[in-house]
Amino acid sequence: MTDKELIIQLREALHQHNYNYYVLDNPTISDFDFDMKLKQLQTLEAQYPEMHDPNSPTLRVGGEVTKNFQTVVHSQRMYSLDNSYSKEDLLDWETRIKKLVDGPIQYTCELKYDGASISITYKNGTLFQALTRGDGTQGDDVTANIKTIKSVPLKLQGDYPNEFEIRGEIILPFKGFEAMNEERIAAGEEPYKNPRNTASGSLKLQDSSEVAKRPLQCLLYSIVGDHTGITSQFDNLEKARSWGFKVPTEAKCVQSIDEVLEFVDHWDVARHHLPYEIDGIVIKVNDLQQQAELGYTAKAPRWAMAYKFKAEQVSTLLNHISYHVGRTGAITPVANLEPVELAGTIVKRASLHNADQIAKLDVRLGDTVFVEKGGEIIPKIMGVDLSKRPMDSLPTTYISECPECQTPLTRTEGEAQHYCTNAEGCPPQIIGRIQHYISRKALDIEGLGGETVALLVNAGLIKDAADLYTLKIEDVLPLERMAQKSAENLIQGIELSKQIPFERVLFGLGIRYVGETVAKTLAKHYKNVGALSVASIEELEAVDEIGIKIAESVYAFFRNENSIRLVSRLVSYGLQLQLSEEAMANQTTLLSGERIVVSGVFESISRNELKALIEANGGKVVSSISAKTTYLVAGANMGPSKRQKAEQLNVPILTEQEFLEKL
């Protein structure tokens, strides 16, 4: 056997041994023999550099240094899941989905791993790219770091597709986490707080050899891609396992919501015996065709639900209440607590939401309060231990003036929050609006963060987002921690933001009630800020998905002198306040005002491509048939109830070919 043939043989053998050890937990050779084979391969690869393979087992030890992680757009969005906290929530969810799909529904129940989400692309059976979740639309390329995780296969086995993505969670098992902390304590360093944050932080370490030292695991749960031949979520898991991925075997396919509830009850107790953290159960409609029928809301798939186990609750002392001023002038009372550990983190503050919530709970200074994490993310006060209330306790009096600028607060009838109306003179509002403008989902200006915005405002260099475009390097150099290179990057980042598309600039303006989805809808409908700015409330409300509150807010924004001046200046500085020519070229009004239901399996075009075609031509894709439905586009295997309902309501039914001919 030649040396080059031996290199190939050693690689295949080491891939298999790695799989046996880290995925199957069933090693077939000793650690010593594995290390000897690895060293032999390293020696041979050094002798034959032309045999380099980016997925060689020798690269598991890391060594690649990434100073700046490149941001990459996900080929398909990584949605978050809707959460439920009670069995009633799950029953309500079942009721909703049964109205939208035909036939009996099976469910796949999976453990909800508490780690860092990852999406890995494979091409021709080898690992190509790994992206963090990011904001769901785009994530950071952490491929070099992911390759060091032993349970992530570099080469696949079996009947895998030519190209696909697989999604899962990077976790740090308790045993490995404890070992890491023992090392840190022995070295006189602070121990890590919890496995989840440590796993997440590991993905962004610049030196991949440091990541390789951490006992991370990758647990996979979802294959994404067309033409995979997979028809159900449970098949999804079994296929992934057969290709070499580490897929926990605890998942179960069940026939009813009652069996889902049994699974939930079992793991609410049994989770304490797992080698890693879970914080709930994920329930998915098993049939992928039914998943496609159910589709997505703006934020989450309709076909999945996360059941979160009851949050941990602790008690601690309320030292004082402070008041935070948001970018819209909304006042949020914040409870400042005696620090206490909760769900693996130290909690010092919790939101009290508004004056009504304070009155409802009768929260007072000096109270011992019960705190838990809402959805195990944001701490909130659940109640007061009245047995420990001081004798001289007095009810809390809500503030009447802005804590920052002393402007009298207002409260509109029907609204829970108080507001400071001094929009142009209240520093937190000014800073907050600009921080929103530069946030990741808006202008995402590289080199400019929230702290720098505050420094710029406090130094008198900017008062609104348009002022950013007047800054020069010499203006920002005197700022704290600002060197020549960072000043240059900041100015360059501001200049590059002029290429950000219209809908994100519109979102960045911070119009009340105009989130990402609404901004896209308005940009698509009006095509430029001029047309949007002169629209009446009635015209705005006539746009799909725009209600009266949004319409009134947008109308008021474009009749405010400061808003008009801001938008006018942004236009003059070259910001994209109209749809690009490319976006305009791909749009028509052929289906304007039409509400179209898409159902079944299609041959010449994927369901997602079909929906994109409808939206690009001005139509709206809706999930259920009603009297307002313009027509139903019917593919193969469409459920009989949809056809029956369409016929009852005299909704025209088009085949795939008829619809494409119509376009």
Task: Show Cβ contacts of residue 652 under 8 Å, excluding neighbours closer than 6 positions.
Answer: 630, 631, 632, 646
Q: What's the CA gap between 471 and 83, in Å, rounded?
A: 44
Q: What's the CA gap between 283 and 223, in Å, rounded?
A: 16
Task: Please choose, from the candidates 276, 194, 271, 288, the residue with its C-alpha nearest in 3D space to the C-alpha of residue 237.
Answer: 288
- Side by side, the strands of the sheet bearing 126-132 are 126-132, 116-123, 163-171, 217-224
Task: Please choose, from the candidates 276, 250, 247, 248, the residue with its C-alpha nearest in 3D space to the C-alpha of residue 264.
Answer: 250
Catalytic residue among 112, 239, 308, 524: 112
With tokens 């980016």, the residue in question is 54
Q: How far is CA 204 from CA 115, 145, 366, 635, in A?
A: 14, 8, 41, 44
Angle ∠(499,502,503) on CA atoms, nearest 5:
125
Round to the nearest angstrom and report the end-to-end CA distance of the chain: 62
Q: How far is CA 216 from CA 27, 173, 207, 579, 659, in A?
A: 18, 7, 15, 44, 49
Q: What's the CA gap between 109 and 247, in Å, rounded?
A: 13
Q: Can you read off the two tokens belonging to residue 458?
A: 């406090």
Q: Can you read off the two tokens belonging to residue 434?
A: 């600009």
Q: Can you read off the two tokens belonging to residue 242?
A: 């057969």
Dihedral of CA 421/423/427/430: which sign? positive
383-388, long-range: CB within 8 Å, 24+ apart, which pairs?
385/315
Q: What's the CA gap between 403 and 313, in Å, rounded?
A: 31
Q: What's the CA gap between 591 and 643, in Å, rounded?
A: 22
Contact 98, 114 (CB under 8 A): no
DSSP code at position 383:
E
With tokens 């989902």, the residue in question is 441
Q: What's the CA gap between 185 and 179, in Å, rounded?
A: 10
Number of residues that this document lists for the chain: 663
596: which strand partners?
Answer: 621, 631
- Side by side, the strands of the sheet bearing 278-285 are 83-84, 304-308, 278-285, 107-113, 252-254
Pairing of the two strands 631-634 and 653-655: parallel
Pairing of the two strands 620-622 and 595-599: parallel
Active site residue 112: yes
- Side by side, the strands of the sheet bearing 653-655 are 620-622, 595-599, 631-634, 653-655
106: which strand partners?
Answer: none
With tokens 């070295």, the residue in question is 187
Q: Can you read off the two tokens belonging to residue 371?
A: 């705190």
Active site residue ranges = 112
